[in-house]
């Protein structure tokens, strides 16, 4: 099936935190392989591995020093090949993270580029002269704080880094850079991976004229000054589209491969997602941080879905509520009901939305963010902006498999602590327990897989007052009415049809469907009735 990715469900594994096999406190590839059965039994179609390449780990693997090998902390190429084989035997596709907008400053290519202004790799990164007063070439800022420009004493120039100073940006205006990076991706395609998650896919190109970004009109000063600019020139450039077409041409050489891009653009996320997936020659899918924030209401979900497909009727989105970069949604949305109920409902909403879906390890347990002390932190964002910005470590603590010390993650000392609130939400305690968050995820995933209309059908939203979210998915003659009470008080809706399992907190008397707090229902062939 060449479009297996359309309507698929991908499970994200954060390798450092999934399963440690050797007692060093850091998750690894053999540990992931051991636990692939959990992902398959959950009902996912694919597994996405966050970066597993050699790295100094200044940004936990998103600073790559070798694109065609495995970080020794995680294992070997042979371990990866074993993981790939076992995953495929279980019916799971394997998607690996590709961090090609930048690399580590310890990458040999950057070491050569910074040596002088005339070496063969001199133009492989983004170098620029200082302004006459010695200040950086423009006002571009780093996501991790401060200027996006770092002075280099050897070249007596600045180089660009959208993230850490130890993460220099590649110069995609140089065709040799594109060729090199495409070659590293070919290495993994030939090894048998089923696709790529493309980190910061809209950061590849910068404005060649180095024009300064304009300010944003804000009502309050944000914690991070990066959020005070409209990043018109430092990312999301029109030249990016041609490179996406080169990426697609590469993956199209291999049967049944896929790419999903991460779009980081707070002002134009849905628009860029549509543009990057429109037609048959760019990305297969894209996702943004659109649903990774605090919004949890019917108008927001409707606006996101309708907005995407209006802008890109032939594009395809991938939606997620949690990942390794944001506070877990069970914590973000805790004020919208009992935590376990919100977690159950979030599964139902996400797995009913038009598009593909990505789940983050632990969300199937209703896992919450871990409250960490400053001394626990490893994340550069948290270290820079604490305490108002606590960083991303809270959502990266180890997966909890049972109620033992460290949650069954390691026999050693985990790289981030596993605390009692997280140990209380473990796989063993929820396995086989009717109504648990884990069993709810399994049931909803099985229901989605059994109903093609939920994977491939289009959406038609209904006008109901908050907090009710209602839409019909339709595919040919098949229709499925999906209704969610996003509030904490019961609501009653007039319907024709009957809810089917695995609906939750849903009762019906005649044509009146009552949804309790965080209740949800699917009605095959159902319709809303006027009251």
3-state SS, residue 527? strand
Residue recorded with tokens 């970066």: 51
Please list the alpha-helical segments (H only) found in 17-98: 29-42, 77-89
Taking each helix axis from N to C end, the angle separating 240-252 and 269-277, rounded to the nearest 10 degrees, works out to: 50
256: region left, alpha or beta (phi > 0 left; psi from -120 to 50 alpha): left
Dist CA 286 CA 270 (whole Å): 9
Pairing of strands 258-263, 195-198: parallel
Cβ neighbours around 221 below 10 Å, total: 8
* Rounded Cα gap, residues 212 and 202, in angstroms: 18
What's 405's DSSP letter? Answer: G
Question: What is the rounded distance in angstroms from the CA atom of residue 280 to the CA atom of residue 105?
Answer: 35
Largest distance between two CA atoms of the chain: 80
Catalytic residue from among 190, 253, 371, 496: 253
Q: How many beta carbons lie within 10 A of that of residue 373, not counting itself?
A: 7
| Residue 475: burial class (beta carbons within 10 Å; 0-12, 13-18, 19+) | middle
Distance CA 273, CA 316 (A): 8
| CA 385 to mean position of chain CA atoms | 22
- Annotated catalytic residue 253: yes
Catalytic one of 199, 262, 265, 354: 199
Range list of H helices, 264-399: 269-277, 298-311, 329-332, 339-350, 380-385
Q: Is 496 a catalytic residue?
A: no
Cis peptide before 136 (omega within 30 of 0): no
Give the torsion sign (CA, 307, 308, 314, 320): negative
* E strand segments, 131-250: 149-152, 157-160, 195-198
Catalytic residues: 199, 253
């Amino acid at each position: 099936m060449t479009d297996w990715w359309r309507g698929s469900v991908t499970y994200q594994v954060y390798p450092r935190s999934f399963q440690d096999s050797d007692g060093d406190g850091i998750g690894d590839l053999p540990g992931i392989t051991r636990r692939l059965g959990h992902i398959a039994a959950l009902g996912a179609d694919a597994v996405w591995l966050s970066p597993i390449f050699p790295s100094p780990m200044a940004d936990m693997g998103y600073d790559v020093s070798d694109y065609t090998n495995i970080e020794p902390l995680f294992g070997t190429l042979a371990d990866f090949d074993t993981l790939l084989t076992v995953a495929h035997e279980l019916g799971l596709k394997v998607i690996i993270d590709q961090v090609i907008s930048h690399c580590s400053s310890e990458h040999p290519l950057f070491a050569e580029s910074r040596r002088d202004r005339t070496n063969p790799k001199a133009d492989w990164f983004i170098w620029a002269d200082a302004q006459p007063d010695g200040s950086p070439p423009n006002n571009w800022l780093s996501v991790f704080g401060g200027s996006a420009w770092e002075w280099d004493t050897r070249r007596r120039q600045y180089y660009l880094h959208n993230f850490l100073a130890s993460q220099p940006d590649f110069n995609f205006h140089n065709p040799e850079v594109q060729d090199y990076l495409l070659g590293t991706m070919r290495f993994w395609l030939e090894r048998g991976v089923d696709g790529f998650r493309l980190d910061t896919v809209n950061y590849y190109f910068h404005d060649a004229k180095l024009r300064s970004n304009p300010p944003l009109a804000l009502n309050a000063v944000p914690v991070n000054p990066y959020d005070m600019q409209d990043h018109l020139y430092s990312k999301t450039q029109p030249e990016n589209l041609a490179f996406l077409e080169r990426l697609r041409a590469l993956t199209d050489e291999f049967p049944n491969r896929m790419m999903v891009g991460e779009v980081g653009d707070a002002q134009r996320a849905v628009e860029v997602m549509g543009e990057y997936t429109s037609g048959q020659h760019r990305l297969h899918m894209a996702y943004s941080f659109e649903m990774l924030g605090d919004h949890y209401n019917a108008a927001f979900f409707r606006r996101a879905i309708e907005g995407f497909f209006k802008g890109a009727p032939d594009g395809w989105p991938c939606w997620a509520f949690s990942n390794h970069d944001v506070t877990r949604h069970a914590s973000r949305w805790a004020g919208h009901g009992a935590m376990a109920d919100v977690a159950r409902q979030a599964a139902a909403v996400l797995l009913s939305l038009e598009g593909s879906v990505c789940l983050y390890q632990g969300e199937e347990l209703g896992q919450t963010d871990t409250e960490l002390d400053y001394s626990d932190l490893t994340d550069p964002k948290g270290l820079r902006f604490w305490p108002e910005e606590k960083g991303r470590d809270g959502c990266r603590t180890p997966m909890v498999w049972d109620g033992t010390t460290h949650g069954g993650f390691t026999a050693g000392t985990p790289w981030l602590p596993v605390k009692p609130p997280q140990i209380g939400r473990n796989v063993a305690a929820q396995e086989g327990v009717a109504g648990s968050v884990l069993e709810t995820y399994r049931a909803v995933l099985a229901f989605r897989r059994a109903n093609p209309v939920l994977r491939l059908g289009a959406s038609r939203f209904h006008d109901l007052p908050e907090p009710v979210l209602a839409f019909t998915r339709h595919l040919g003659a098949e229709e499925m009415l999906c209704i969610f009470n996003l509030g904490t008080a019961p609501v009653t809706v007039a319907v024709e049809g009957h809810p089917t399992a695995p609906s939750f907190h849903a009762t019906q008397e005649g044509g009146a469907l009552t949804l309790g707090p965080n209740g949800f229902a699917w009605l095959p062939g159902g319709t809303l009735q006027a009251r």
